[in-house]
Amino acid sequence: MATIVGSVMTSHVPAIGRAIAKHLEADPYWKPFFDGYPPVRAWLDRVKPDVAVVFYQDHGLNFFLDKMPTFAVGAAAEYRNADEGWGIPTVEPVRGDPGLSWHIIESLVADEFDITSCQEMKVDHALTLPMALLWPGGGDWPVRVVPITMNHVQHPLPSPRRSYALGASVGRAIGSWDENARVVVLGTGGLSHQLDGKRAGFINKPFDLMCMEALVDEPEKLARYSALDLVREAGAQGTELMAWIAARAALTGRVSKVHANYHVPISNTATGLLALQNDGPALARAA
C-alpha cells in the first residue's frame, strides 16, 4: 500500500520566482527566507517520496471569477506551466500520476465531496515555486504530482473545517491506494497577507506563529475558525492557510516536526515553512 511520509507547508509568493531566476538566494533581503529550506531538502532526500499531492490555489490560470470550483483535482499525465503575468520563467511540464489522481477523485466522491475532475490542467506559481524550493535545479523534479486546487478567492469560501475534512479524506485515499509508493503532501500559500484595500500589507505574526504551532499537535484547533475569521486574523489572502490545514489533515497518527522557518516581510507577505514527518502506523509498516 502507499505510504504518506509527511507533509511540507510553504509560501508561494511570486517574487520568490524572480529571486530564484536572478540567483538572489544569498542577497541579505532573501537569505533568511532561502536559508529555511536546506534542512527540508535533506529530509526529502532521506524519505525519497515518489509522488507529491499538492493543495494550493489556482490564480486564474484555469479558473477565474466566472467559473470557480470549490475543489478541483488534476487527473492528467502531465501539467504544463504558464506565465500568469508575474514575469516568472516557465518550467518544463510536470509529470502527473493519473492512477493516484483517479483513486483520490473516486474516494472523495465516495466521501460525498463534489469534485471537479480535470483531465487537462495548467499549473501556476503556487505549485511550481514550492517544487523549485524543495527540489532546486530548474525542473525535472523527482516526484510525480497530483494537484488539488482550493477556492481561496471567490466567496463563499470553503470553511477551515471543510478543508480539514478534505485533507483527511485525501489522506485515507492515499493510504488505501494499492501501489508501493511514498507520498509527500504539500500545502502551499499564506501565511498572513493582504494585497488590496485599506489593510494592504497587513501581517499578523502572533497569529501565524500560533497556527504553525497548532498544526504540529492540535490542527483541529484551526478547523474551528470560520473563513471570515481567517480573513479577519490573517488578511484577505491569508485564507490560503486552508491549504496548510488540508495538508496537515492528510497525515495519519503521530507526527514529528522536521523543521520550521518564519520570515517577514517578503513582498509585504509573511512567509512560512513547516515540514512534518508522518510517524503513524503506515510509515512504520513501510519501514
**What's the whole-number mean pLDDT along residues 74-81?**
96
Q: Beta strands 122-123 and 116-118: pairing type?
A: unpaired
The phi-psi region of residue 197 (left if phi > 0; otherwise alpha if psi is between -120 and 50; otherwise beta) is left
d(CA 113, CA 256): 29
User: What pLDDT was estimated at residue 281?
Assistant: 62
Would you state the cell numbers that stand for residue 193, as one nine-digit string? 497577507
8 A C-beta contact, residue 5 and residue 184? yes
Give CA separation, 111 vs 23, 137, 157, 167, 170, in Å.
45, 38, 19, 12, 10
125: annotated active-site residue: yes
Give CA separation, 71 vs 40, 54, 157, 232, 242, in Å.
28, 12, 10, 23, 12
pLDDT at 137 over 50: yes
List 12, 59, 103, 125, catalytic entry:
125
| Sequence-ordered list of residues with C-beta below 8 angstroms from that of 150, at least 6 positions apart, any chain | 55, 56, 57, 70, 71, 158, 163, 166, 242, 243, 246
Q: Spell out the domains of the chain, with CATH numbers in brackets.
A: 3-286 (3.40.830.10)
Number of neighbours of residue 197 by Cβ within 10 angstroms = 9
Residue 219: closest CA among 235, 203, 242: 242
- Summary count for the chain: helices (H), strands (E): 11, 11
pLDDT at 153 over 70: yes
User: What pLDDT was estimated at residue 195?
Assistant: 81
User: What pLDDT was estimated at residue 250?
Assistant: 97
DSSP string, 148-203: EEE--SSSSPPPHHHHHHHHHHHHHHHHT--S--EEEEEEE--SS---SSTTTT--
d(CA 158, CA 112): 15
- Model confidence at 140, pLDDT cuts 50, 70, 90, reads confident
List 103, 193, 259, 263, catalytic entry:
193
103: annotated active-site residue: no
The pLDDT mean for the chain works out to 92
Question: Which pLDDT tens digit goes with each residue over 158-196?
Answer: 999 999 999 999 999 999 999 999 999 999 998 998 888
pTM, 2 dp: 0.93
| Comparison of pLDDT for 270 and 268, the residue scoring more | 270
**What's the whole-number mean pLDDT along residues 110-128?**
95
